[in-house]
Structures are given as C-alpha cells and as structure tokens.
Amino acid sequence: MEIPEQAVRDEAGQRAEEAALAALVSQYAATLYRVAFSVLRNPADAEDAVQEAFVRVLRHRETLREVRDQRVWLIRIVWNIVLDRKRRAKTRPETDDVSELARVLPSDGLSAEEIASAAQHHAHVLSCVERLPAKEREVLMLSAFEELNSVEIASVLEISESSVRSRLFRARNLMAGLLQHTRSLR
C-alpha cells in the first residue's frame, strides 16, 4: 500500500512548521522574558507572559510567513500582553529581592562587597527608571534594555519615529537628573 503524495507533503510541511516555531522559541524566549520582566517585575508572571505570547503565535502561525521582522513582532505581542496584565492588576509589585538582581549582574572576580554594591546601584537605577513618566519609561526600556532602534520601538508602541526620539531624549535627560540628584544627596 502506497502513501498518497499529498499526505507526505502535508506531513513534511507540518514538521517544517513545527521546527520553525521551535526555532522561534529558542531564539527569542530570553529576549521576550526580559521585556516581560522589565514591566511585570515578577519572574513567574514574565514566564507566563512569554508562554502566552508563543501560544498566540501558535494560534496565528499561518501569518508567520508574512511577518517582516519576527523579533519586533514577538516583542510587540509580549508588550501588549504585559500591558494588558498591568491594566487588569492596576498595581505593580516592586521587588527589592537582591537574589533576583544578582541573577542579571556579572559577578566574576568581584568581592561580596562589590557584588552587593553593584546590586544596590542596579536597584537604584531601576528605581529611577520606575519614576519616569510611563511614555518615557517605555521607550527607554525598549531602547536600553532590549536594544531596539527607534524604528523598531515605533513599531512596537505604534507611534511615530520622531515621537520615539523625543521621548527617548526626555527620558535620558530625566534619568541624568534623577541620578545626579541622588549623587548630590550622598
């Protein structure tokens, strides 16, 4: 008994599609987690948001071929998910968990005091970022933490590129002022 040619093609196409989706997950999961965590500040919630993003990709996999920049497209999906969750929650739990900060800080060759100092500085910078107005904070996080360019940020936030540049300029100036102010208090 011979297997119909169409069935073989369908099976091969499905395997190729599954491989492409697996490649997306392995390539972008860490980036999407960082985006989600930068907004949600909770590891479990960030993981859930990333998982939900990939579930949405699975549901709409037929449009995957039409996407020009998969990285920006996936970041946009996660961005919308985390903003929806924040709107629903109406609160944002802040973390002072140094162990969570230590996970992202380099520690090779540093003393315990240097690691603690770096963790405190990192927490301070993040608290300054949190004090920025929402629009400026969004572009700064996407630019500085996710290294998106202004065109990509404009696509994610659905705003003009000039708006991205002006918000980024304001955010950097506000950050400089906040950091300078705290230095002068020491």
Convert the pLDDT of each residue in 72-105 to its tens digit: 888 999 999 998 888 887 644 444 444 454 455 5
> CA 78, CA 157: separation in Å to the nearest integer?
12
Structure tokens at 19: 């491989």
Q: Where are the domains of the chain?
A: 1-91, 112-186
What pLDDT does 118 receive?
Answer: 76
What pLDDT does 96 receive?
Answer: 46
What region does 97 belong to: left with phi over 0, alpha with psi -120 to 50, or beta?
Answer: beta
What pLDDT does 98 receive?
Answer: 47
Low-confidence ranges of the chain (pLDDT < 50): 91-99, 101-102
What pLDDT does 135 receive?
Answer: 92
What pLDDT does 93 receive?
Answer: 44
Summarize pLDDT for 140-151 with one digit per residue, the tens: 988 887 888 999
Helix H segments across the chain?
5-40, 43-59, 70-89, 98-104, 112-131, 134-140, 150-157, 161-185
CATH number belonging to domain 112-186: 1.10.10.10
How many angstroms from the chain centroid is the CA of residue 176?
A: 23
**CATH T-level fold of 1-91:** Rna Polymerase Sigma Factor; Chain: A (1.10.1740)
How many angstroms from the chain centroid is the CA of residue 34?
A: 4
